[in-house]
Structure 1
């Protein structure tokens, strides 16, 4: 009986449980579908929220930060020396090379045979702020095979930031190569544009950094262009001559097409007609800024030698006289500052020929006015018809003159007819006659 009871009790475990109050048989049975549904919801995991790119990068860096730090240190150890010794100096040198250094204006003033005063205005244009320590620039001719600077200029300390003016004021420089300076001044005189080539080293400071940069620059500057436009504006005879022999005075135009003002001291020029020396003129305290420059002169005309050489003088003027002009050739003789001669200027000017073309009418008028006591023109002295065909035809029809050949023999010559009535062109025979008349009037007063 006991065993049966135990077996029955064993199988009763599968029967529905009773209530806690012992009324197990009355409790409703739980639906099996509801139980399985509840178990399924509780076991399903929640959906993960996706990371943003920034979060991914942050997580990645966090995982590998020590690797990156080590690689970064290695790169810095390699690159820092390159940055400070190669890259920054190369950038600085490139900025220096890009500087045009245009010459805005300047002055070259002769002081002595071995010195000059120099004033220059230029500018720097830098993309960033920088400081340049004082630097010496050596000026040389780049086409000379051997590097041979002839002067040097010291730049002041410069704080550059974008466009920055740079001025060298009244700096005394020494001539270090006479031959090369003469060569450069010769180009200043002859050419419309001249090279100014400089070389040197500059210390450039960018904050606490500083590095050396090389300067090697050729700058174009406008120059004298052969004193194109040189002319004698007026010429007067002085009677009686002064004690030192001075017997002429006048004004001339010395044009400077360049931007550099030249201070050349006292200049002496010889006057020639062809190859015959007529005299000389002195021009004092010659300073030539840009543009036309009217300068007074005094001098001596060799009147005692003028008449014996009159035939040769007129022959040398035949082409100019055909156009009613006379040409005077001037060439340098001496250059002095404070009574001391300046060889590097003389060697340039003494090899140059400056041609001044003067109308014969003006020249004769100036000669006659020298003795009239006032500025009377030739037309006032000879009447209202001077210079036109009526006067010239009368002159050619009634005035016989002589021409002197090279051996001094006087040959009779009948002056030819002039151009048709109404023409104002004065031909060679008429201009020779006018020139002779003016000279005779002047010499008669001496």
Structure 2
């Protein structure tokens, strides 16, 4: 029984103590639950943060533009139509003609040969062989063009002296332009004479040409202007003119010919000139002694050897011999005689070609020729042909004893 009472007291005491004592385990349990719940949230948040740290890739510019275009294609289409409506007229009316004109302006125009033939008082036949370099890979078709030939002078004169008709040309790469024996009227003789003067007297001269036509590059058409200036070699006053050979003909032939010579006439240019029958004055020591005529003269580029038949007034030569010899001191020292020739007349098919005469008649050509060579060829032939004894020219003859020989020659000739 004693134990029962004791147990009862202990139960009561423990009950009272338990009632008054704080329960520390409850807080621990609560903290564990909160901690557990916090851990779950942290894990979830960590997953969200991990996803946010790797955002989706942005679309490229083209993809964004394409998406924008698909949404606004109507506006783009309308804008394209408006752009073409503005650009195409500008291209066809302004841009392409400017490009075509620039191509023609930049294209070189080398001239390989030219000729002026069959002259009449009012016309000539003109031939031209030239090139026109068209930039690759373009191909240009030029419709027929009236090509005006001009004189490049200061101030500029835009009046053509002749007009050459060029046929339709298809040009690609290093193309050629050819005109063959085209008869054309001389539009202005004074300007044509100016051109001839520059071609004959100058070392170089300018050949100017201009014209306008339609050009096609494929199906595209443009109106272009051809304006070219080409520098060419001139005849340079026929520098290099000389006498290849000469001999006297005594007695004179029926037409009065008493001098036959071979003349060398250079043509430094690439232009050929058909002159016809050209008569030159023969001048020695400033004294006009006669003339020489060259038949059917056609000067091609290079040296031309032309036969000449002359009529020399020997009486005038003998009468003025002292004056002639005194003017020849420098030449005679070298055993030569200095002779000059100037234009007298130029006749083609019976007509005087005045524009040639105007140029050539003002031109004086001077050359030297071995005097003893002329005398040897002349006197040997004359005396031997008349039954006399040929004169030995091997030695012993000089300027002093030439005069008696010439006097003897004139006596034989009947002067």
Give the TM-score normalised by structure 1: 0.76
Asked if the contact 1:204–1:211 (Cα under 8 Å) also holds between the matched residues in 2, the reply is yes
2:317 matches 1:306: yes
Matched, 1:357 2:324: no
Deviation, 1:116, is: 0.9
1:194 CA displacement: 0.8
Which has the higher mean CA deviation after the structures are superposed, 245-254 or 47-56? 47-56
Paired residues of 1:140 and 1:150 also in contact (CA < 8 A)? yes
Q: State the alpha-carbon separation in 2 of the partners of residues 438 and 105 from structure 1.
A: 50
Q: How does 1:61-140 map to 2 (within 5 A)?
A: 61-127=69-135, 128-140=138-150
Q: Deviations over 1:140-191 (max 9, x none)?
A: 2132644321111111111011111111111111111111111111111111
Cα 1:90/1:438, change in 2 over 3 Å? farther
- Post-superposition offset of 1:223: 1.5
SS at match of 1:112: coil
Secondary structure of the corresponding residue to residue 381 of structure 1: coil
Q: Is the 8 A contact 2:283 2:339 kept in 1?
A: yes
- 8 A Cα contact 2:318 2:407, kept in partner: no
Which runs of 5 or more residues in structure 2 are unaligned? 1-36
Decide whether the 8 Å contact of 2:147 with 2:165 is kept in 1: yes
Distance 1:271 1:214, change over 3 A: same
Q: 1:214 aligns with which of 204, 221, 225?
A: 225
Q: Counterparts in 2 of 1:181-192, with a 5 A limit?
A: 181-192=192-203
- The structure-2 alpha-carbon separation of the partners of 1:434 and 1:353, relative to structure 1 and needing over 3 Å to count, comes to farther
Q: Give the counterpart of 2:205 among 170, 194, 202.
A: 194
| Paired position in structure 2 for 1:223 | 234
Match of 2:159 among 113, 129, 148: 148
Is 2:304 the counterpart of 1:293? yes
**1:350/1:171 CA distance change after superposition, 3 Å:** same
> CA 1:141–1:73 in 2, change beyond 3 Å: closer, same or farther?
same
3-state SS, counterpart of residue 147 of structure 1: strand
**1:278 pairs with 2:289:** yes
| Matched residue, 1:170 | 181
Return the offset for 1:360: 2.0
Hey, what's the Cα distance between the residues in 1 that align with 2:161 and 2:99? 31
- Provide the C-alpha distance between the structure 2 equivalents of 1:366 and 1:256, rounded to a whole number of angstroms: 29
- Alignment CA distance shift 1:373-1:66 (3 Å): farther
Whether 1:328 aligns to 2:295 is: no
Pick the structure with more helix per residue.
2
Match of 1:244 in 2: 255
Number of equivalences: 367
For residue 332 of structure 1, report the CA deviation from its aligned partner.
0.4
Aligned partners of 2:404, 2:229: CA distance in 1, in Å? 56
Which one has a bigger Cα radius of gyration?
2
Q: 1:433 aligns with which of 397, 400, 403?
A: 400
Q: Does the CA contact (< 8 Å) of 1:236 and 1:369 recur in 2?
A: no
Report the alpha carbon displacement of residue 277 of structure 1 after superposing the two structures with TM.
1.0
Residues 434 and 137 (structure 1), Cα distance of their counterparts in 2 relative to 1, 3 Å cut: farther
Deviation of residue 269 (structure 1)?
Answer: 0.2
- State the alpha-carbon separation in 2 of the partners of residues 316 and 56 from structure 1: 101
- 5 Å matches for 1:342-421? 342-371=353-382, 381-383=392-394, 386=395, 391=396
- The alignment yields a C-alpha RMSD, in angstroms, of 2.8
